[in-house]
Structure 1
Amino acid sequence: PSTGSTATSRRPSRSPPPTLLARIGWNSVRLLLSWSRVEPEPGRYDAAYLDEVAAAVDLLAARGIYTLADLHQDAWGPTLAAPPGLRCEAGATPAFGWDGAPGWATLDGGASRCAAAGIRELSPAVLTAFDAFWDDAPGPRGVGIQTRYVRMLGHVAGRFATRSAAPSRLRRSRWPWTRRKASAAPRCSPANGCRPRSIGHPGRVLLRRPPALAGRLPVRSDPVDLAGVLW
Structure 2
Amino acid sequence: MKIEIWSDVACPWCYIGKRRFETALAAFPHRAAVEVQWRSFQLDPSLPEHYDGTELDYLSTRKGMAPAQVAGMFEHVAAQASGEGLNYRFDDVVVANSFTAHRLIHLAAAHGKQSAAKERLLSDHFEHGRDIGSRDYLTSLGLDLGINASEVDELFSSDKYADDVRQDFAEARALGVSGVPFFVIDRKFGLSGAQPAETFTAALEQAWQESHPLVMVDAGADGPDSGACGPVGCAV
Q: Same fold (TM over 0.5)?
A: no
> Which has the larger helix fraction?
2
TM-score, reference length from structure 1: 0.26
TM-score, reference length from structure 2: 0.25
- Look at both structures and tell me which one has the larger radius of gyration over its CA atoms: 2
> Which protein has greater RCO, CA pairs closer than 8 Å, 6+ apart?
2
